[in-house]
Structures are given as structure tokens and as C-alpha cells.
Amino acid sequence: MDVTRATLAFNKTEDRISLTCALENDEHIILWLTARLVRQLVPHLVQLTTRLPKTPSKVGRQEVVAEANSAGESSVSDLAPEGQGLGTPEMRSPESPVIAKEGSPSKVVTAIDITHSPMLVKLCFKEDQDNTGVWLSLEHTQLAQWLEGVKQCFVQAGWATDCWHVSNTTDYDGSATPRAAVH
């Protein structure tokens, strides 16, 4: 399943980050990310963003919004590649958050596979009971912006942000490891 548009949010009640994804055929899925899993993911993504070329995004942009809803969820980030997502650009603004339809599936993510190439970083979100992954593809600039949205969720949650302080002198070389997995 490929994500066409996604919104990150911190949910106070669940004490988790939600990633509400719009999929092809007007379907939605809500992915729940725990602090433990995201703390393992962040250093990999930080290393990638420090080593990636600084090129302007041609696919789209990410908007940061701060709207609270009745579920105790604060939307902090919306990612929408131009020309994709729900409706045409005239029908929706890029700032509008992805809202899952009633009855949309919901999964607690237990593993994230990271695949990167010179142009894209792909994140595959999985849960234990289901090998079907949900793929989020991000250009380099989108990855940095998405990671900033994740950091804002950490700040809203009051979680420690020390996982963002990855030394540039570590032995990790993102170009030598095109695939990684966090569990």
C-alpha cells in the first residue's frame, strides 16, 4: 500500500504518534507509532538527512499546522505530493489534514524498514500480525521536513528529544547501508 498523503499528529489519550495516511482509491489507514519505536527510527533518519544532497523538492511540500481536535490529537504535519492525494489541488488545500473515514483500519506499527536511494527514502511501516506494509516515499527535503514534524510530536508529548543528537563522527554511513530495519 502506497501513501499518497499523510498527516502526523500526537494523540494525548493514546500517548502515541498517529500517522493518518490517504492511500490510493480514496482509502485511509491510521498507523500508531510508539515512542520506543520512533526513538529507534530517528537516529537513522537524522544520519540520512545529514548526508543527503540539499536539493529543492519537486514533488511537494509539507505544512506544519497546530490544530487540536476533540480526540486530544494535535496535528503537526501534513505531507502531500503535488497532484496526488484526495481530490485535485483546487478541491483541497495542501494544509488540510488527512482525516480517516469511519471504519478505516488502524495498526500499531512494530517494525519500520528503511530503504534509501540517491533520490528517495522509503519507509515501510509494518505490524506483527500482518506482513503487508504501508509505504511512505519521501524526497530528501521531504524527509527533513517529515522528521521535523516527528520532532514536534515529541515536543508536544514531552518526550526526550535526545535521539536527534546523533554525532556526525559516528561510524554509520548512510550511503553504505541502503536498507535498515528498526523493531
pLDDT one digit per residue (tens) for the chain, 183 residues: 899 999 999 999 999 999 999 998 889 999 999 999 999 999 999 988 886 555 444 333 333 333 334 344 545 555 544 333 333 333 334 568 899 888 999 999 999 999 988 889 999 999 987 778 999 999 988 999 999 999 999 999 999 999 998 765 444 444 445 666 766
- The predicted structure's pLDDT at residue 49: 85
Which domain covers residue 136, as residue numbers?
3-171
Q: Flag whether 181 is in a domain.
A: no
Nearest to 100 by CA among 1, 18, 10: 18
Q: Please state whether beta strands 28-33 and 106-108 pair in parallel, antiparallel, or not at all (unpaired).
A: parallel
Distances from the Cα of 114 to the Cαs of 40, 44, 55, 97, 127, in angstroms? 12, 9, 21, 25, 15
Scanning the structure block, which residue is given the C-alpha cell 493514546?
Answer: 14
Q: Into how many domains does the chain fold?
A: 1
Helix or strand holding residue 144 (H, E): helix 140-157
Q: Flag whether 123 is in a domain.
A: yes
The whole model's pTM is what? 0.74
Q: Flag whether 176 is in a domain.
A: no
Q: Flag whether 133 is in a domain.
A: yes
Q: Flag whether 26 is in a domain.
A: yes
Scanning the structure block, which residue is given the C-alpha cell 535498515?
Answer: 180
Q: Flag whether 38 is in a domain.
A: yes
- The predicted structure's pLDDT at residue 78: 52
How many Cβ atoms sit within 10 Å of the Cβ of residue 119? 12
Q: Flag whether 43 is in a domain.
A: yes
Q: Flag whether 94 is in a domain.
A: yes
Q: What is the helix, strand, coil percentage profile of the chain, to 5?
A: 20, 40, 40
d(CA 148, CA 161): 11
